[in-house]
Structure 1
Amino acid sequence: MQFDLITTDHNSRARAGVLTTDHGAIATPIFMPVGTVGSVKAVTQEQLRSDVQAQIILGNTYHLYLRPGLEVLSAAGGLHRFNGWDRPLLTDSGGYQVFSLAANRKIKEEGVVFQSHIDGSRHLFTPENVMDIQRTIGADIIMAFDECPPYPSEYRYARKSMELTHRWLDRCIQRMRETQPAWGHQQSLFPIVQGSTFKDLRTISATEIAARECDGNAIGGLSVGEPEAEMYDMCGLVCDILPAHKPRYLMGVGTPWNILENIALGVDMFDCVMPTRNGRNGMLFTWQGVINIKNKKWATDFSPLDEQTDCFASNHYTRAYLRHLFAAGEILGMQLASIHNLAFYLQLVKAAREQILAGNYAAWKTTMVKQLQTRL
C-alpha cells in the first residue's frame, strides 16, 4: 500500500491524497460505505460502482466469521470473489463488537470470548486468530484487534483498556509477520488509537501507535455517545501526533458535518452506517439540509430528491413518490433513500477534496456545516 499526500489546505489541516492498494487507488478524503456481512444493505455492487461511486467498502470480521464462515470464504477465494466487489476492501477486526456486544462477551488478556448473537455458541477472538480471519477474508486494509471502551468511562478503566489494546497490537503485528496474504494481494495493518476522552491517554496511545510504523493509523473509541466538541478535541489532538505521511482513519463517523469538521483536523478516511441506516428510516441528507421524507409536507412535492446530488435515484424520483413508498411500506423506498444518501456522502467528500486542492477548504467548510444541519 502507498499513500501520497498531495496537498494540505492553507487555513486548516485538511489534506488531499491518494491511497493505492492492489485493488485500485482511492482519492482522499474518502467515505467508505459499510457492508457489515459483505453487503451494503439494500444496495447492489453495481449501484455502489455507478450510482454511489464508492471507491472502497467495509466488511466486519466478527460477522463474516459467523456468516458465511471461513470455510465458505476460503472456498470462494476471499470476500472480493465471494461478493463480486473488485475494488478495495477494509475489514474491522471485531473490536467494535467488544463495545456493542458488551452483554455477550468476556474480556481477558488472551482475547475476547463472544456469545454468538445468532445461535448462542461461544467463540474466542484473539489478536492472532483475528489476523488469520482477516487474512482469509482478504481485505486490502485490516484492522488491529482492540477494545473500544464505552462513553463515559472511568479513567482507570480507560487506561487499562488502552494498555490492553497496545499489547494486543504487538501480537497482531507479530502474527502479520508470521503469515502471508491468502489470495495474492498485499494487506496492510492499521492500528487503532484509544484512550476514551482523556487527553493524556489519547496522547500516550497516539504516540505508541505512531511508533509502530504501520501502513496507516486509525482513531477509535469516538462517536460512541460523547459530545461532538469532545470528539473534535480528541481527533485534533491525535492527528497532531500521528505521522502526516500516512493515512488517518476515523472509525464510525458520522454525520455530514462531523465528516467536514474532522477533515479540517487532518482525517483522511471515514465510515459510518448512518447514510444507510437513517435512509432506511426515511431520513435524507441533502445539500440543502436534512429531510424526514415521512413528513406529510412532502406528499405533493414533485421536485427531485436532491438535484445537486449527481445520482439517478436523487434526480429521477420525486420527494412525493419516495414518501409514498415509505407510507406504503415498499422496500424500494428504503433502497432509493440508501442509494441517495450514499451518493451524497461520496460527493460531499469529493467536493471537500476539490476545495482542499483549491486552497479554499476552511471557508467552504464553515458555510457547508451550517447549511447541512438545516432541518427542511
Structure 2
Amino acid sequence: MFPVEFSEIARDGAARAGIATTHRGTYSTPCFMPVGTRGAIKYLSASDYEQLGAQIVLGNTYHLMLRPGAETVAHFGGLGAFAGWGGLTLTDSGGFQVFSLDPDVDDDGVTFRSTYDGSKHRFTPESAVHTQQLLGADIQMVLDVCPPLPSPPHVVRTALERTSAWAMRAKNSHTRDDQSLFGIVQGGIDTNMRAESAQRTAELNFDGYGIGGLSVGETRDEMVPALAAAIAHLPSNRPRYLMGVGDPASLVEAVNLGVDQFDCVLQTRLGRHGTALTSTGRVNVKRAEFVLSDDPIDAQCSCMVCRRHSRGYIRHLFQVGEPTASRLVSLHNVAWTIELMNQMSRAIVDGSFASLRREILAVWGNAMGSAAS
C-alpha cells in the first residue's frame, strides 16, 4: 500500500484546500472526479478529460471485470494506459453495483449474477482487491456493504460489522506498494454508527478514507450530521472521499465539513438528457423557449462548449437526435463542476468560503442529486 499524504494549504473553518500525494503523482483538493464506469466517461474521451482539467477519473470494478475482464485491462498496462489517460485513476470495489442486484450475501462475501449474460460470480474482500490490482488504478477501494435507506437499525449494524471485517481482510490481502487502498465508512444516517465505523476504519490505518452509503435517498438534513459524525473520527493527514455525491449544494456542504474529493455520474446523466448545471440552477436546453437563443449554456462559464455554442444550436441537435448534443452538455456539466471545486479552493485560500457557500446554497439549496452507479 502507498499512503496518500494530505498536505493542507489553507483552511477556512473546517473546509480545507490541499495537495494529496499518490505513488504516481499529486492532485489538488477539493476535487471532483468524473466517472468512467466502463473505461470511459460517456460521450467523452481521454483527450477531453485533459481539456476539462480532470485530475482523477474513476472506473467501475464490477463492469470492468465482466467486460473486458481485469486480465485484459492488465495486459494493456492498467486502466489508465488502456484508456489512453495519463492522469490518475481510481477504481471502486463494485460493491455498490453488486448490492443493487439483490445478491446472496454472507459473512465471507457476496454472490451475484452478471447483468450482461446472467453468469454467476462471487466477490470477497480478497478477490475485490486482487481484481483491482489487475486493473492497476492508483487508488482502489475496499469491498463494503452499502445498506439501502431506509433500513432498520439491525440491517445497518450488520452492514457496518461486515464492512469492518471485510476492510481488515482487504488490507491484509493487498500486495502492491504502488497502489493506495482506501477504507470505507458506513453506518447509514445513524450518527453513532457513523462515528463507530469511522473510528474502526481509521484504526486500520488505510491510505485514505471513503465515506459511502450516503445520497441514496436520505435528505440533505439527514446526510450532513451523518457525514460530520464520520469526519470527526478520520485522520487529518489522509484524504476524505464522499462517494457518489455530486449535486452542487451537497458538494459545498461536504467541503464545509472537511471533505476533499467526490465522484458522481449526475453530471453526465443529466447532460445526456439535455439538462445543464449553471450558475442560476438547472437549465433544460431542450425547451422550446431556446429555439432562437444565441446565449451560451451559462454566460458565466468559460468552458469549451460555452465559448463556442449557443443554447439554440444545442437544442437543435437534441431535436434531430444528434448524439453530439449529449456530448456537449456532458462536457459542460463536468467542466462546470470542476470549476466549481476550483472556486471553492480559491475561496478557502482567501477566506471567503462562507460567502461562496451562501451563494451556492441560495441557488441549489433545494436540489439534491442521488448516488451514482
TM-score norm. by structure 2 comes to 0.95
Looking at structure 2, the residues matched to 138 and 285 of structure 1 have their Cα atoms a distance apart, in angstroms, of 32
Looking at structure 2, the residues matched to 91 and 108 of structure 1 have their Cα atoms a distance apart, in angstroms, of 23
Per-residue CA deviations over 1:175-198 (Å, capped at 9, x if unaligned) read 01xx235xxxx1111111001111
Q: Secondary structure of 2:146's match?
A: coil
Looking at structure 2, the residues matched to 354 and 249 of structure 1 have their Cα atoms a distance apart, in angstroms, of 19
AA paired with 1:256? P
Looking at structure 1, the residues matched to 250 and 117 of structure 2 have their Cα atoms a distance apart, in angstroms, of 36
Quote the residue 1:79 is aligned against.
79
AA paired with 2:25? G
Per-residue CA deviations over 1:43-62 (Å, capped at 9, x if unaligned) read 11111101x11011100111
Aligned pairs (5 A) from 1:110-189: 110-176=108-174, 179-180=175-176, 186-189=178-181
| CA RMSD across the alignment | 1.3
State the Cα distance separating 1:372 from its structure 2 match.
4.1
Quote the residue 1:210 is aligned against.
202
Looking at structure 2, the residues matched to 168 and 374 of structure 1 have their Cα atoms a distance apart, in angstroms, of 36
Residue 4 of structure 1: which of 7, 10, 20 is its match?
7
CA contact (8 A) 1:111 1:124 kept: yes
Looking at structure 2, the residues matched to 94 and 56 of structure 1 have their Cα atoms a distance apart, in angstroms, of 18
CA contact (8 A) 1:190 1:214 kept: yes
Looking at structure 2, the residues matched to 246 and 373 of structure 1 have their Cα atoms a distance apart, in angstroms, of 29
Taking structure 1 as reference, are residues 374 and 317 closer, same or farther at Cα in structure 2, changes over 3 Å only? farther
Q: Secondary structure of 2:295's match?
A: coil
Quote the residue 1:109 is aligned against.
107
CA contact (8 A) 2:62 2:98 kept: no
Quote the residue 2:247 is aligned against.
255
CA contact (8 A) 1:289 1:373 kept: no
Q: When you count helix as a share of all residues, which structure comes out higher?
A: 1
Quote the residue 2:371 is aligned against.
none
AA paired with 1:156? H
Looking at structure 2, the residues matched to 196 and 23 of structure 1 have their Cα atoms a distance apart, in angstroms, of 33
Quote the residue 1:16 is aligned against.
17
Q: Secondary structure of 1:242's match?
A: coil
Per-residue CA deviations over 1:112-135 (Å, capped at 9, x if unaligned) read 111000000001111111101111
CA contact (8 A) 2:9 2:19 kept: yes
State the Cα distance separating 1:263 from its structure 2 match.
0.5
Do structure 1's residue 38 and structure 2's residue 36 form an aligned pair?
no
Quote the residue 2:91 is aligned against.
91
CA contact (8 A) 1:142 1:190 kept: yes
Looking at structure 2, the residues matched to 169 and 236 of structure 1 have their Cα atoms a distance apart, in angstroms, of 21
Quote the residue 2:326 is aligned against.
334
Quote the residue 1:345 is aligned against.
337
Aligned residues: 364
CA contact (8 A) 1:98 1:147 kept: no
Looking at structure 2, the residues matched to 15 and 302 of structure 1 have their Cα atoms a distance apart, in angstroms, of 39
Aligned pairs (5 A) from 1:219-298: 219-298=211-290
* Structure 1, gaps ≥5 residues long: none
Q: Secondary structure of 1:191's match?
A: strand
State the Cα distance separating 1:373 from its structure 2 match.
5.6
AA paired with 2:176? Q
CA contact (8 A) 2:110 2:122 kept: yes
Looking at structure 1, the residues matched to 185 and 165 of structure 2 have their Cα atoms a distance apart, in angstroms, of 12
Q: Which sits farther off after the overlay, 259-268 or 309-318?
A: 309-318
- Same amino acid, percent of matched pairs: 43
Per-residue CA deviations over 1:241-283 (Å, capped at 9, x if unaligned) read 2111211000000211110111101100000000000110111
State the Cα distance separating 1:238 from its structure 2 match.
1.1
Do structure 1's residue 27 and structure 2's residue 28 form an aligned pair?
yes
* Structure 2, gaps ≥5 residues long: 368-373
CA contact (8 A) 2:74 2:136 kept: no
Q: Secondary structure of 1:31's match?
A: strand
State the Cα distance separating 1:98 from its structure 2 match.
3.2
Do structure 1's residue 201 and structure 2's residue 193 form an aligned pair?
yes
Q: Which sits farther off after the overlay, 134-143 or 92-101?
A: 92-101
AA paired with 1:56? I
State the Cα distance separating 1:312 from its structure 2 match.
1.3
Looking at structure 1, the residues matched to 172 and 24 of structure 2 have their Cα atoms a distance apart, in angstroms, of 25
CA contact (8 A) 1:286 1:372 kept: no
Q: Secondary structure of 1:224's match?
A: coil
Q: Secondary structure of 1:217's match?
A: strand
